[in-house]
Amino acid sequence: MSNHEHKWDVLLIGGASGTGKTSVSYRLAQHFGIGISEVDDLTVLLKRMTTPEQQPILHYWDTHADGMEWTAEQIVELTISVVQVMAPGIEAVITNHLEGNVPLVLEGDYLLPSLATPDGSVRGVFLYEPDEAQIVANFLQREPDEGEQTMRARVSWLFGNWLKQEAERAGVIALPARPWDTLFERILAALG
């Protein structure tokens, strides 16, 4: 357990794929001595508990092969739809932790910045990468057998820009992911 105090009860760490949110989230949870949960796990649960007819947006990639011919912008629009579909369920998880007084770091791609309260019990930090080429490099380093993944990086970069705009609109912290070596300290400073 940690004795590092915090003025929030739930900390959302959001951002597009390839921005380092998972790594820094685990470090933050350890620093504050609290639990962590990944939104990916909630997505898996919801997909298992629903049918494509009940939740077509969540199941889209499993039921449509045509997505491979989409533009990056079209994929980002679908991703934003998934974020919006997930929001009520994530809000219920947040409420559960608030009511139970159980602090949590919640991290993932599918977090909506408006779920955070800028100076309240639910804080949010959304990471973005301003350089699309850096995301290509991040994916290549993390998954060298997959190649450059330029399309995936383009989607991540576009989605990251959308998340940054939404965070700024909601008055929530948006931070560039780099420099990596100061990210943890920059998040702590931004949280105050």
Residue 2 domain flag: no
Residue 4 domain flag: no
Residue 50 domain flag: yes
pLDDT digits (tens, 9 = 90+) for 159-171: 999 999 999 999 9
pLDDT digits (tens, 9 = 90+) for 86-119: 999 999 999 999 999 999 999 999 999 999 998 7
What is the value of pTM for the model shown?
A: 0.94
State yes or no: pLDDT of 1 exceeds 60. Answer: no
pLDDT digits (tens, 9 = 90+) for 124-169: 999 999 999 999 998 988 888 887 889 999 999 999 999 999 999 9
Range of the domain at 142: 10-191
Residue 80 domain flag: yes
Residue 22 domain flag: yes
Longest dimension (CA), the chain: 51
pLDDT of residue 144: 86
Residue pair 43/86 in contact (Cβ under 8 Å)? The answer is yes
pLDDT of residue 79: 96
Residue 181 domain flag: yes
Q: In what order do the strands lie in the sheet with 122-128?
A: 35-38, 104-108, 10-15, 122-128, 173-176
CA distance 21 to 140: 17
3-state SS, one letter per residue, for 110-134: CCCHHHCCCCCCEEEEEEECCCHHH
Q: How many domains does the chain have?
A: 1
Residue 160 domain flag: yes
CATH code of residue 73 = 3.40.50.300
Residue 3 domain flag: no
State the sign of the Cα–Cα–Cα–Cα dihedral 85, 112, 44, 88: negative
